[in-house]
Structure 1
Amino acid sequence: MTNLVRTPFSEISLAEPFFDSLKTDYAEFPTWFKKKADSGESAYLYKTKTKGLVGFLYVKAEAGMVTDIKPPLKAGVHLKIGTMKIDAHGTKLGERFIKKVFDHAFEVHADDAYVTVFAKHQGLIDLYTRYGFEPYAVKDGPNGQEMVLLKSFHNVKNDILLDYPRIKANGVTIGLLAIYPEYHSKFLPDSILKNEHFSILDDVSHANSIHKIYVSGIAAAGKLTRGDLLVMYRTSDGKGPALYRSVATSIGVVEEVRRIKSFATLSEFLKYAGPYSIFPKEKLTELYDTKKHHNMIKFTYNIALRRRLIRQRLIEEVGLAAGTRRWDFFKLTRAQFDLIFELGQAHESYLVD
């Protein structure tokens, strides 16, 4: 297992050392765990070949008021993050879990998401607040008082990260950006195609992180600015006609664009690009030495389209030009973007405007 996989509690061993800290923090954890197993509930697991179980996420939709916190949450649909634990090992797995929380929230049409956390877990608190959770309440329990962090999906902060994963499409440039198949799913793991296996995914920063860096030699792509949108387009793998093998899969938001030559030293460049680019250190070093005018497009990975759109549909239904240009990077109209959003069956909750 090398991806987030939804797994029944009854198939998860509580004897795993991974759960020891949860048993220490919550004396009732084994009882709670058994209750979830007996009721047939599931959680998201992340395992690696070398470290075994390194991530666990349980979320639950709650309808009505939430009254066991002070102040209570008013009536609505709330996604409770019942348990999220990650054994940090430098691969930004926490960001992968945060994205999964939001994806799940939109699936159940939640008004907000909330989590309780002890103040001692500052790293976890920092992760939540980076993506829009705010202190809202406290919860008193048998193990002490916990903070309650809340993220509303109705309030707009006009900030790419605080509003993440929601996007704004008004008044921004929208571009279609091509990515080769050998990079696509390892870079955008939630956009993996049905004919690909999870075994191609690795537990590495560029896969797990919400933030991505794409290296481009296309001059027009260098004109993108913060807040612009990208529709990621996986080019053909050559195993059949491009009309059916090339697909639009994902939507991201540009954070910034920098020329490689803007970095004064190689070490500065590697520190910036290393965690978020699919290229290894050797390739990045080569780019720094030989491609000074290439652009580094840093963007957030917001939406994996539920239905991937093949090139034929993009031409016939969205109205993209069939053969007048290379499909490497070009601008989309708002109407074309809206069709991609609709035909790709993206949840309307992702769109702010």
Structure 2
Amino acid sequence: MHEAVIEAAGEKMKNLSYKLFSDLNLDDVFFDSLKADYKEFVDWFKKKAKEGARGYAFFKSNGKLDGFLFLKIEEGIVGDVEPPLPAAKHLKIGTLKINAHGTKLGERFIKKIFDHAIDANVDDIYVTAFEKHEGLINLLKRYGFVEHAKKETKNGTEMVLLRNLHELSGDVLLDFPFISLEDKDCYLLAIYPEYHTKFLPDSILNNESHDIVTDVSHTNSIHKVYISGIHRTNKMKRGDVLVIYRTSDKKGPAYYRSVATSIGVVEEVRKINSFASETAFVKYAKPYSIFTDIELKNYYATKQRSYIIRFVYNAALTKRVTRGRLMGEAGLPTAKGIRWDFLNLSNEQLRNIATMGEVNENIIID
């Protein structure tokens, strides 16, 4: 039971809510297309409400539902599709519908799906969808789902899209959220607090773990664009791995206040003068940038920050790792005079940081 469109960047977004079915209004016009596509939808929805089931809901400012996601774990053979899915632990996307309204909501739902898949250590993720829902299909294919089977029902023939989590293609997007270290370089990239806050709210920069269902909008964005003035960042290539490091907020010694917060994979690095015009630059950077239109236009005019880093945001560290621990336990340099604005990391150092940050061990491969 699925319907979606690709979402573009735009308005500021509120958090997703993990809601009981019984707390949702089945008469909301949002559900009309699902009722039309699936004759059994109303009965199914009421059954889930009685069972106490929950799903992710996104509401517009007027209180109307604008997006909904329901996930379930299935064990064994999935025999109602042809060819059947082999015996395994599956995450089924039971319902996914997203209205178009100029946001990255589709991307955030995809991120939440993968969060659950990794947390539950499933073998694959699958979803059934009618071919007419091209937006949903293209969105899923972008992140590694492939056409695997067909499902015949009284509502018609649905396509079965599958993401096998044990197979890697070597592509940054198709393999998301997994990170391969084979033949990859790793780096630490420092970001000032005032910019980092736009990536991750400072309120979660602490040493508390966060529940899988908790939604933090900044961590649920898959893509990021950062503009750097560090010439050495230009050597990064697609597939290289980044540790994001928030510099000290000056509220105490950097030894305790500077922290590694997250891990990503480079999509590309471009020089700012590679864009034909200011308009082309803003169009590229704006959707996933932490900078305002005014800042972007200023950067283009002055060329003071020349390197545009686009990367995939694979994992937030659930335990922030301080500068002191990075030196003492991860083996980063302790000598005075070594700048931490952009550092080469070994694969071992990257793994150490991920372990200290309590990143799920299944995410990093090789």
Report the TM-score when normalising by structure 2: 0.88
The alpha carbon displacement at 1:308 in A equals: 2.1
The 5 A counterparts of 1:209-288 are 209-288=221-300
Structure 1 unaligned spans of 5+: none
Answer yes or no: is the 8 Å Cα contact 2:128–2:151 preserved in 1.
Answer: yes
* Matches of 1:3 and 1:38, distance apart in 2: 25
Match of 1:67 among 63, 72, 79: 79
* Matches of 1:302 and 1:319, distance apart in 2: 23
Match of 2:347 among 314, 334, 350: 334
Structure 2 unaligned spans of 5+: 1-12, 209-214
Q: Secondary structure at the match of 1:306?
A: strand
Q: Deviations over 1:145-189 (max 9, x none)?
A: 110000101111111111111111122111111223333353357
The answer to whether the aligner puts 1:348 opposite 2:351 as a matched pair is: no
The alpha carbon displacement at 1:303 in A equals: 1.2
| Counterparts in 2 of 1:283 and 1:113: CA distance versus 1, 3 Å | same
- Aligned residue for 2:327? 315
Q: Secondary structure at the match of 2:100?
A: coil
The 5 A counterparts of 1:40-59 are 40-49=52-61, 52-59=64-71
Answer yes or no: is the 8 Å Cα contact 1:250–1:304 preserved in 2.
Answer: yes
- Aligned residue for 2:96? 84
Match of 1:173 among 160, 185, 201: 185
The alpha carbon displacement at 1:192 in A equals: 4.5
Aligned length: 348
The alpha carbon displacement at 1:352 in A equals: 2.6
TM-align CA RMSD:
2.5
Determine what percentage of the aligned residue pairs are the same residue. Answer: 56
Answer yes or no: is the 8 Å Cα contact 2:111–2:220 preserved in 1.
Answer: no
- Aligned residue for 1:147? 159
| Counterparts in 2 of 1:169 and 1:175: CA distance versus 1, 3 Å | same
* Matches of 1:185 and 1:276, distance apart in 2: 14
Q: Deviations over 1:178-230 (max 9, x none)?
A: 2233333533579944699xxx977xxx8764221110001111111111100
Answer yes or no: is the 8 Å Cα contact 2:28–2:64 preserved in 1.
Answer: no
Q: Secondary structure at the match of 1:155?
A: coil
Q: Secondary structure at the match of 2:331?
A: coil
Which residue type is aligned with residue 245 of structure 1?
A: R
